[in-house]
A = this chain, B = another copy of it.
Amino acid sequence: MARLKLKLQLYCGDEIAMGPGKADLLEAIACEGSISAAGRALGMSYRRAWLLVDTMNRCFAAPLVATQPGGGKNGGARLTAAGDAALAAYRALSDQVQDGVAGPDFAALEAAIRPQPLPAQA
């Protein structure tokens, strides 16, 4: 059957305030307790993880991630209450949207798509 992938991005101006990658990063920060460990867990450089956190903190009215003052690369980080709330709302919204896919249009597409693609011709 055709698998469906839904990507839900929330923009703030031209920047992406929240999306699948940022939600995964928040989850990893909550688990790992630091931005660098969260980045490592997701196969992401510290710089990349830091930039994603910085974007979220600039896009939301209250920062989603709090870092230890002066901690730098080795300092701890945790989700704020706003971070917990944003992550929970994003996950719930993603589930809601996923559940909203069912219906005749999805069924028609599923029925029209092969289980596996034909091979590409050389």
Contact = CB atoms under 8 A, between A and B. Distances in A.
A43 B59 CA distance: 31
A61 B62 CA distance: 49
A80 to B, nearest CB: 11
Contacts of A101: 8, 93, 96-97
Contacts of A99: 100
Given A9-B5, A15-B117, A109 B82 contact: no
B6 A113 contact: no
Contact of A109 (B93, B97, B106, B117): B93
A83 to B, nearest CB: 10
A118 B58 contact: yes
Interface string A29-71: 0000000000000000000000000110011111000000000
Contacts of A54: 120-121
A106 B93 contact: yes
Contacts of A105: 89-90, 92-93, 96
A11 B3 contact: yes
Interface in A85-122: 85-86, 89-90, 92-93, 96-97, 99-101, 103, 105-106, 108-110, 112-121
